[in-house]
Amino acid sequence: MFLDGGVLETPVLDEVPSEAVEVLGVTLVGVSPLTGVKLLLTAVLVLAVLVLRAVVLGVLRRVLGGRVADPRRFWARQGLQVLSAVVLVLGVFSIWVTPETDLSTGVGLLSAGLAFALQQVLLSLAAYFVILRGDTFGVGDRVSLGGVRGDVVRLGFLKTTIMEMGQPPSAGPGPAGADPAGWVHSRQYTGRLVTVTNGVVFDEPVYNYTREFPYLWEEIALPVPYAADRARAEAVLLAAARDHAVVGDPAAEAALARMRTRYAMSDASLEPAVYWRITDNWLELSLRFLVPHRGVRQVKDAVTRQVLAGLDEAGIGIASATYDVVGLPPLRLADPPDDPAGR
């Protein structure tokens, strides 16, 4: 302020009252006596609610019995959980938001609490819009999501429902170490509806069997003896693939062309092919062919039947692991020694 003579008077900082709180000589920054009281009341409220909740749970267990699967016990526990949460929210809000408190402070505290408590819900809700906007998958797509393989039958704001399908054992474990096949050893329905939260799209890869390119490359490995007619065996495999797989389909060629224009894909052949690999026991012929994303088992079944019939007609057997005995230790037969006792 200005004095009568026009000289500016600077207030002395030591004369300004301080509301800082000290604990064992340490000044707690940003904590006033009022804030400390509110923190203490909040701790007391939380402790009181937890103690009362434990007491009520004990009473409910005595009244309703010890059966965990009892629906009455389940709903009573859920109701107690909701009531405890409501009491805590209203109590903390009442402690920190007073008539002298700015309304924005209370709204900020409430928003922060809700964001922390509902972070998984908000994450799944955000993932829902990412799924729609990013064309990740849609209803009817065959996907592998959150360790579950199958067809998407419902897409909600928070969860995705999948009709589960099995998986061949050769495919190995699915995402997140999930059981790949269960009791169905093929890409066919198991009959189970599985619910997966949408938020998993942020943490795990999503395998889509349908979107963009509704076809799959499949392989069948055939072990053939080295002494067999290898060229005839390859011809049998190619003939079976051309009869049952996708060959010369304009729709498949158009889908692959769209993929090449949208993604940086290398060249891929849609024609069936056989690849040879030398092993210690046999020659492995791998038949690679294109199939639609649905009905794979039927196609592989038809190909396998025709291949077996063709091999039988050509007199070609399927190789198996064998062992050759190259030497034996000498054997000597001798009469038993005479018994001196005459026995």
193-209 pLDDT tens trace = 999 999 899 888 999 98
Distance CA 77, CA 79 (A): 5
Residue 15 has pLDDT above 50, yes or no: no
Among candidates 88, 81, 79, 83, which has minimal Cα distance to 113? 88
CB hemisphere CA count around 92 (13 angstroms): 21
Residue 171 pLDDT grade (very low, low, confident, very high; cuts 50, 70, 90): low
Mapping DSSP onto H, E and C, the string for 174-215 reads CHHHCCCCCCCCCCCEEEEEEEEEHHHHHCCCCEECCCCCCE
Is the model more confident about 92 or about 143?
143
Using the predicted structure, report yes or no on whether residue 19 has a pLDDT greater than 70.
Answer: no
Residues 23-68 have pLDDT tens digits of 555 565 555 677 777 788 888 989 999 999 899 888 888 887 766 6
In this predicted structure, the answer to whether residue 325 has a pLDDT above a threshold of 90 is: no
pLDDT band at 96 (very low <50, low <70, confident <90, very high): confident
In percent, the amount of the chain with pLDDT more than 70 equals 74
What are the structure tokens assigned to 236, written together? 């049998």
Helix (H) or strand (E) holding 58: helix 33-64
Range with the largest mean pLDDT of 132-141, 148-157, 297-306: 297-306
Per DSSP, the three-state class of 134 is coil
User: Does residue 180 register a pLDDT over 60?
Assistant: no
Rounded Cα distance, 44 and 109, in Å: 19
Please give the torsion angle defined by the CA atoms of residues 55, 58, 64 and 65, in that order, rounded to the nearest 10 degrees.
Answer: -170
What is the mean pLDDT of the segment spanning 174-188?
61
Residue 177's pLDDT band, with cuts at 50, 70 and 90, is very low
pLDDT at residue 338 tops 80: no
Range with the lowest mean pLDDT among 19-23, 264-268, 306-310? 19-23
Which whole number is the average pLDDT over 72-79?
Answer: 77
- Higher-pLDDT residue of 48, 108: 48
Mean of the per-residue pLDDT values for the chain?
A: 80
**Adjacent-strand bridge partners of 160:** 155, 196
More confident site: 308 or 3: 308
State mean pLDDT over 325-341: 69
Q: What is the pLDDT of residue 307?
A: 95
Residue 79's region, left for phi above 0, alpha for psi from -120 to 50, else beta, is alpha
Lowest mean pLDDT among 89-93, 182-186, 268-272, 308-312: 182-186
- Those residues whose C-beta lies under 8 Å from the C-beta of residue 299, and which sit 6 or more positions away, are 218, 244, 245, 291, 292
Short-list 281, 181, 186, CA closest to 224:
281
Mean pLDDT of 107-125: 72
The proportion of the chain whose per-residue pLDDT surpasses 90, expressed as a percent, equals 31
- pLDDT-derived band at 1, boundaries 50, 70, 90: very low
Structure tokens at 199: 């938020």
Cut 0.75: pTM above it: no
Residue range 159-170: average pLDDT?
A: 81
| Among 46-50, 107-111, 165-169, 240-244, the range of highest mean pLDDT | 240-244
pLDDT class of 340 with cuts at 50, 70, 90: low
